[in-house]
Amino acid sequence: MTLRIKLSPACTAVFFIAVIICTGCVQTGSSEEKVSEEKVLRAALVTGPDTGGSLDPSISWEGWPMRRAGIYETLFSYDENMNLQPELATGYKQLNDTGWEIQLRRNVSFHDGTKMDADAVIYSINRVLDPSNSRSSEYSFIKNIYKTDDYTIVVETNESYAPAIPMFTDTIMSIVSPEASDLDKEPVGTGPFMFVSFEPGASIELVKNPDYWGEEPKIDRVIIQYSKDATARTLLLKSGDVDITREVLQSEYASLEADPDINIVSRETLRTYFMYVNEGKAPFDDVKVRQALNYALDRQEIVDTALEGVAGSPAIGIFPDIMPWSANDRIEAYEYNPEKALELFSEAGITQGNDGRLYYNREPFTIEIQTYTKQAAHQPMAEVIAAQLEKIGITTTIKIAETNSIIADATAGNYDLALYSWGVSPVGDPDYFVSSHFLSTGTYASTWLRYSNPQVDEWILEARAETDEEKRAELYDMIQEQVQNDAVLVCVAYKKEIDGLSPDLKGFEIYPNEYTFITNEMEIS
């Protein structure tokens, strides 16, 4: 007989704390004195690698947690203020409309001692370009890549492609050692920290890279624990068992901010909460219905209730104000206006019955909102949205599912609304999101959204090829205005990241694109 024990949330949190305390008891030095001098950073994050336990940054989105751990680097990156900067590259120049020369940093070695040079860079990039890679289509703009010497490469594009350089900041473009034997299990990069061990779904351990090309890391060892339990992460911070925890409980923001033993830091990010709308299904194929849904939402109430008033702000368009390409000062916001919503619904044939409910084709107008819980705010946001839709007479249900299930339904056209959140510009360029969601042939436009507007297509293709930033900005302003009028998506809120720190931790910064977390500038005093 198998005995199954179900732990309460409190017991789970205590168990999680015990695991970290025991982990900290492991001696890695040869003496007690060495252990006491070792600078160890302990962190609690929500999630880590989740694609079958693989640590390979070229697989799906695994580059994100690997970059956050300080293992991998890219040719270019963004600083904490989203300024593009060279990383493993030292610079670039545009040779012609379709050619880019990239100069590589010299005297850089991988964690296994292999030299980082043009061959290693080309090897890493080709792993992403391989047709078997699930994200290779994102880099279909690359026609050819070759070296002109050991520290210079040339990237040729199929046509003029303005975002070429920013696309090399994506973590999938992490530069890996060509001599590594098994990147699934033992990552080998050039970053300030080197891999030690990994427990799928639980933790990853790292040590500093003594041969790092940049400033020597100030921390000797890093232990990152993963837990989706926000209560457990907050308890670990309060007890002093971690030095930093990401995504602290919104409901505890005020009390943590008042705690002298905890520093709370927060910052707006480039992540937007929005709902996909199935425009291939009636009545959502009617722009008036989509506009009505936008007017039916009280975004301030959603922020105040689901995000506790501290973890976000009401959205206007898809790009937050902190993004330089945002046209929020130009486009018209969908203000909360239930009367306007009912008027538009009526014009679309969705009318109010004597019972106050809305009816479509003589049947109650019903909507199902699908979402997932990897982002903790999704479920409470969906609940507030459902209540607001119910308030104007829409029968609304919520379906919590795994992302794979939602993807299957969306691509099959078997959904109404899907609440998601995206880092809408992690590579710092608008084309990243715009082409996938608003270009007729884009991955999400052609499947999830079934959206097609020939004028928008023309502007996107023109903006993608335009290297003059002022002209590009004008085009993206027009694109944002049009998709706002077409109500392609229901933008809800912009996320604000809230992290809790020990007062002993210095040098930590929140990066708006969410790529970077552990850096060589962090130190424990």
Question: Could you tell me if 317 and 435 lie in one domain?
Answer: yes
Mean pLDDT of all residues in 427-456: 97
* Residue 40 maps to a domain: no
| Residue 64 lies inside a defined structural domain of this protein | no
| Cα–Cα distances in angstroms (integers) from residue 230 to residues 241, 374, 499, in the given order | 15, 12, 12
Are 358 and 468 in the same domain?
Answer: yes
Question: Is residue 166 left, alpha or beta, with left meaning phi > 0 and alpha meaning psi from -120 to 50?
Answer: alpha
Q: Tens of pLDDT along 497-523?
A: 999 999 999 999 999 999 999 999 999
Are 167 and 274 in the same domain? no
The pLDDT of residue 36 is 54
Any domain includes 214: no
What mean pLDDT is predicted for residues 394-398?
A: 98
Residue 51, pLDDT score: 63
Domain containing 408 equals 269-496
Dihedral over alpha carbons 293, 295, 296, 302 (to 10 degrees): 110
* Three state DSSP letters for 163-198: CCCHHHHCHHHCCCCCCCCCCCCCCCCCCCEEEEEE
Output the pLDDT for position 50. 76
| 75 phi/psi in degrees, rounded to 5 | -60, -40
Do 348 and 481 fall into the same domain?
yes
pLDDT of residue 11: 42
The single-letter code of the amino acid at 494 is Y
Find, among 138, 110, 206, the residue nearest to 518 by Cα: 206
- Is 165 part of any domain? yes
Q: Going by C-beta distance under 8 Å and a sequence separation of 6 or more, which residues neighbour residue 122?
A: 145, 146, 147, 153
pLDDT score, position 10? 43
Kindly state the average pLDDT of the residues 407-427. Answer: 97
d(CA 509, CA 312): 18
- DSSP-based three-state secondary structure for 125: helix
Residue that terminates a domain, selected from 118, 152, 173:
173
Residue 242 token pair = 């971690």
Given a cut of 80, is residue 487 above it in pLDDT? yes
Which H/E stretch holds residue 471? helix 469-485
Write down the mean pLDDT value for the chain. Answer: 93
Structural domain contains residue 365 = yes
Band (228; pLDDT cuts 50, 70, 90): confident
C-alpha angle 499/504/506, rounded to 5°?
65
Among candidate residues 462, 522, 474, 521, the one with its CA nearest the CA of residue 162: 462
Question: 305 and 166: one domain?
Answer: no
The larger pLDDT score, comparing residue 170 to residue 249, is at 170
CB-based burial of residue 146 (10 Å sphere; 0-12 exposed, 13-18 middle, 19+ buried)? Answer: exposed
End residue of a domain, out of 173, 202, 232: 173
Contact 157, 72 (CB under 8 A): no
CATH, residue 373: 3.10.105.10
Structure confidence by residue, pLDDT tens digits, 153-193? 999 999 999 999 999 999 999 999 999 999 999 999 999 99
> Within this chain, do residues 352 and 485 fall inside the same structural domain, yes or no?
yes
| Claim to verify: residue 157 and residue 275 sit in the same structural domain | no
Span 12-47, pLDDT tens digits = 444 444 444 444 444 444 444 445 589 999 999 998
| Per-residue pLDDT at 52 | 72
Q: Count the residues in the chain.
A: 525
pLDDT of residue 522: 98
Among 123, 124, 122, 87, which residue's Cα sits nearest to residue 108?
87
**Residue at which a domain ends, from 173, 188, 206:** 173
- Using the predicted structure, report yes or no on whether residue 354 has a pLDDT greater than 90: yes
Which candidate, 292, 322, 242, 320, places its Cα nearest to that of 392? Answer: 292
Strands 89-96, 99-104: pairing kind: antiparallel
- Residues 280, 154 share a domain: no
The percentage of residues in the chain with a pLDDT greater than 90, rounded to a whole number, is 89
Phi, psi (degrees; rounded to nearest 5) at 438: -120, -15
What is the Cα–Cα distance from 42 to 64, expressed in whole angstroms?
19
pLDDT at 33: 46
Residues β-bridged to residue 246:
499
Tell whether 259 is covered by a domain: no
Query: How does residue 251 score in pLDDT terms, banded at 50, 70 and 90?
Result: confident
The amino acid sitting at 217 is P
Of the candidates 56, 302, 81, 297, the residue with the CA atom closest to the CA atom of residue 188:
56
Structural domain tally of the chain?
2
CATH number at 102 reads 3.90.76.10
Residues 309 and 417 in one domain: yes
Domain membership of residue 232 (yes or no) is no
Whether 328 and 473 share a structural domain: yes
Q: Which residues of 88-106 are buried (b: 16+ CB within 10 A; e: fewer)?
A: bbeebeeeeebebebbbbe
Q: Establish how many alpha carbons lie within 13 A of residue 237's alpha carbon, considering only the half-sphere containing its beta carbon.
A: 33
Longest dimension (CA), the chain: 80
The pLDDT tens digits for 355-393 are 999 999 999 999 999 999 888 899 999 999 999 999 999
pLDDT tens, position by position, 48-100: 987 677 999 999 999 999 999 999 999 999 999 999 999 999 999 999 999 99
C-alpha distances (whole Å) from 420 to each of 376, 401, 449, 463 are 11, 12, 13, 26
Burial 354-372 (b: 16+ CB within 10 A, else e): eeebbbbeeeebebbbbbb
Do 313 and 444 lie in one domain? The reply is yes
- Report the helix count and the strand count for the chain, using DSSP H and E: 15, 22
**345-348 long-range contacts, CB within 8 A, separation 24+:** 345/288, 345/289, 345/292, 347/288, 348/283, 348/286, 348/288, 348/289, 348/292
The 10s digit of each residue's pLDDT in 281-309 is 999 999 999 999 999 999 999 999 999 99
Q: Residue 2 has what pLDDT? A: 33
Is residue 49 one of the residues assigned to a domain? no
Amino acid at 336: Y
Instruction: Output 149 or 7, whichever has higher pLDDT.
Output: 149
